[in-house]
Structure 1
C-alpha cells in the first residue's frame, strides 16, 4: 500500500480536479462509459436536422455518439480541460463550451434533445441540472439520462465498496454526491424527471463489464486512495480490505484483465 493515512474524498465539484483528470479519464474511463453513452444516444430520435445538448460531456463520449448521427451538438462541461479535449476531437458538428450545467447560459427550448451520461448525478444541485436540461429542450423534445444503478457508482468504486460493506458495514463513508444515491432508484429517477419538466419517463437497465488492468499490482493499489469509502478505514482495516480486493482479483482475473460488471439506469423522457 502507498499510505495508511485516510484519503480525502474526491473533489467532484472542483473543475480543476477534472482538468487534471482529462488524460487519465480518457484512457481509463471513456472506453467503458462510451458503451453506455452509445446506448443512451441510441434512444434519442435524432438525425442531421436535430440540435442536441450533451450536459457534463466529460471527454465527449455522448457528444461524439450524437454527432455521428449528423446532429448539431452543443457539448458543455464546467471543466476547461474537458472542453478543450472535446474540441480537439475536431468534429465539425460539435460546439464545446465551458458552462455550469446547473445554470446553462442558453435560451429556452433551444434543443430537440438533451443527454447526460453520468454527469447530472454528480452535480451539487442535481435537481437544478435536470430542470435546466428540461428548460433548454423544446416541448415535445426528448432526453436521455444515464446514472449508475448503485449509489456506490461502478467499476473499482463499486467493488471496493461492496468489500468494505461486507467486512466493515459501520465504516462506509457516504458518497459526496447525493444524486448518486437518489437517482440510483428507478422510481425516484422517474419522479425527478417529471418534477423537472419531463413526461413519460421510461427506465432501462444496461450492464457492461469494466475491464481493470491488473498487470501491475502497484497501479491497482494506488486506486484505493481515490475511493471515498477508503477514508472511513483505519490502517488495519485498510490492509484487510486491500487483501480481500486482491483475492477477488486473483479468483476472477483472465490474464491481466479483471472484469467488474456495472449496471446503469438509462432514463428516457419527453419534454412536457
Structure 2
C-alpha cells in the first residue's frame, strides 16, 4: 500500500493539511462550484472530501451537503465546523454506502484521483448522481501542485539519479483533457466539459525555517538525507532570491459532466 492510500497517513496529516493545503485547494473548489448551478434545495456529495474545502463552500449556497472521506481524522475536521447543513461520514469512495441517484451534484476535488481503483470511484460517483445531475472531478496536471511540484522539480535538478515519488495512476491517465472526458463517459456520465485552471501557491519563504511543515507530507522529502534536505532548502532560497513569497504556478483540470 502506498502512503497516500493509507487512512492512517491522512489521519496524522489532517490538522496540518487543514492549515496548509486546504486554503489552496479551496480556490479550485470554488472554481468547480462556479461551474454547477446549486440551489438551497440541492443535495450535494463530496467524495474524498479531505478537510472539506468543497463541502464547506457548497454549504454556503444553502445546499444540503454530505462530505465523505476514508480518513476519520479528515471527517473530524469537517464535523468541527458544526454547520447545520453539512453531514460528515467516514466512507470508502470506491464503495459508497449510498443509494443510487440520490444527489443533484457529486464532487471530488483531488480526491478520487488518489484511489487505488479510481475508475471504480468515478463509477460510484456516477451511480449516486441523479439523472440530469452533475459530476465534477478535479485532477492535477504534470507533477502535481504547490510544494509537491516544487520539490519534484528541485529533486530532478539536484539529484537526477534519485527515484522520485510515483504520481497516482489517475493523475497520469487524466492529464490529457480528451482522456479525462472519455473516462467520465465510461464511468456513466455524458457531455463532459474539461477546463484548465491555474492558481499560484504562495510559499512564504520564512516557513523554510521549519521545512517539515512544507514538505513533510511528501515521500520525496521524507526519503532524503539531512544533507540532501539542506540542499533542497538552499535551492528554494536561491530560487526565491530576495522575495518573501515564492509563487508556484499549479495547474489543474476540472471536469464537469451530466448524468
TM-score by length of 2: 0.91
Selected match of 2:118 from 122, 126, 129: 126
Q: Give the drift of 1:168.
A: 4.3
Show structure 1 runs of 5+ residues with no match: 1-8
Query: Structure 1 105/127 Cα, relative in aligned 2: closer, same or farther at 3 Å?
Result: same
Looking at structure 2, the residues matched to 69 and 238 of structure 1 have their Cα atoms a distance apart, in angstroms, of 44
Looking at structure 2, the residues matched to 175 and 57 of structure 1 have their Cα atoms a distance apart, in angstroms, of 22
- 1:50·1:112 contact (CA, 8 Å) conserved in 2? yes
Looking at structure 1, the residues matched to 82 and 217 of structure 2 have their Cα atoms a distance apart, in angstroms, of 32
Looking at structure 1, the residues matched to 237 and 153 of structure 2 have their Cα atoms a distance apart, in angstroms, of 14
Q: Give yes or no for the alignment of 1:186 onto 2:177.
A: yes
Q: Tell me the secondary structure at the aligned position of residue 61 of structure 2.
A: coil
Aligned to 2:127: 135
Cα deviation per residue 1:1-36 (whole Å; 9 max; x = unaligned)? xxxxxxxx9711111111111211111111111111
Query: Structure 1 158/52 Cα, relative in aligned 2: closer, same or farther at 3 Å?
Result: same
Selected match of 1:54 from 46, 59, 76: 46
Structure with bigger RCO (C-alpha 8 Å, 6+ apart): 1
The residue correspondences of 1:92-107 to structure 2 (distance < 5 A) are 92-107=84-99
Instruction: Name the count of aligned residue pairs.
Output: 259
Aligned to 1:220: 211
TM-score by length of 1: 0.87
Selected match of 2:28 from 36, 59, 63: 36
Looking at structure 2, the residues matched to 232 and 187 of structure 1 have their Cα atoms a distance apart, in angstroms, of 35
Aligned to 2:257: 269
- 1:45·1:142 contact (CA, 8 Å) conserved in 2? no
Q: Tell me the secondary structure at the aligned position of residue 144 of structure 2.
A: coil
Q: Tell me the secondary structure at the aligned position of residue 151 of structure 2.
A: helix
Show structure 2 runs of 5+ residues with no match: none
Q: Give the drift of 1:234.
A: 7.0
Aligned to 2:189: 198
Moved more, 164-173 or 113-122: 164-173
